[in-house]
Amino acid sequence: MESSSSNPHEPHVTLEVGEEEYPYPSHVCASNLTSVKLSGKAKFVMWKTQMLCLLESHGMSGFIDGTLVSPQTSVSGKEKVGDHQNRHRRWRRSDALVKSWILSSLSEETLGYVLKHLSEKLHHQERNASDFSAKDVWDELQTIYGPAVLPQLLVSDKPQDIREAWPDQYLILKEQEDKSALQKLYRAAISGDWDSVHAVLKRQNITVIDKITNNGNTALHIAVGATKKADLLQKLLEKTPENTQLLDLRNSDGSTLLHVAAIVGNTEAADILVGRNRDLLLAKDNEGHTPLAVALSNMHTQTSKHMLQYINTDIEKDALFSGTSGEELLVVVISSKRFWFGK
């Protein structure tokens, strides 16, 4: 991998193999993906959210956050003049695309207003009135329509004073900050990379048991169900707050971590979880299903067999194989043709 800058204080971009330095998804019809037009302060948060989703999903957010900056006007190092000119041309083309997405998402009145402000600002800077970037537009819209910036919000040692002085603005920014932290943890967890997860946990006021998806999954649920990486799960479990009960970690379906392991057939995770808390074997989700029943109904034979080997005590056997639970298992076994279960 190579960085576009050797100075750690300058914005830079790390490129993956085969990744374009300046993406150009010209096929995207932004108007079809942005339903909210920015027409005033009341709609700014909704507008900004949809624009960030659009930009991030197509790898274009660097043009508004300062990480994909215009190449220097002069050629440096061993770069050839022709190569430099091509890089600059590609950057301008991609920046113009982002700029068009932003401008087309504004109401006619807002568009006229922001262009007037930009024109005046560029005039004072002795720049051409049309010589503005996507970041210039984005920053101007943030200044005009975004929530007021709280003085020294990030460095104040008395947050209660901020809440009292600017209660509405504080709540808006706090909500945005919390949502951003949850999104960052979700992206890190779904990637399966522990270093990324650990970095988010260190920087953000968030834990591995916080719900980070719409259906109430935690980073632990994601590790079990999406990545199937045992080492990641082990490290996340070590980061659970003190006195955390694994039985209490459930999503909106009532699924524990062991239920999720049963759903996807993550046998290794099932072994780890049962090793930490055998009571997970008897837990029931919102529909009254145990992890064993879920594993059987999803045709995960190996996971089912591993769960069965942990059911040794009479209490556990009675809880699983008698009454409603026993009848349910019998139905599942017959319907899934898992006749080995009765041996």
pLDDT at site 52: 92
Q: Residue 135: what pLDDT? A: 94
Q: In the prediction, which pLDDT does 77 show?
A: 53
Model confidence, pTM: 0.49
**pLDDT tens for each residue of 48-58:** 999 999 999 98
Give the Å distances, CA to CA, from 217 to 104, 208, 224, 250, 332. Answer: 36, 10, 11, 7, 26
What pLDDT is recorded for position 211? 93
What are the phi and psi torsion angles at 106 (to 5°)?
-100, 150
**The pLDDT value given to residue 14:** 38
pLDDT at 313: 66
**Predicted pLDDT of residue 180:** 78
Q: What is the mean pLDDT of each run of 10 residues along the chain (343 residues)?
A: 40 40 86 86 90 91 88 58 80 94 94 91 80 92 74 45 55 67 88 91 88 92 91 96 94 96 95 95 90 86 88 63 49 48 46
> Which region holds residue 182: left if phi is over 0, alpha if psi is between -120 and 50, else beta?
alpha
Q: What is the pLDDT of residues 75-111, one digit of tens each?
A: 555 556 667 788 889 999 999 999 999 999 999 999 9
Cα–Cα distance measured from residue 31 to residue 33, given in angstroms and rounded to the nearest whole number = 5
Query: Residue 153, exposed/middle/buried by CB under 10 A (0-12, 13-18, 19+)?
Result: middle
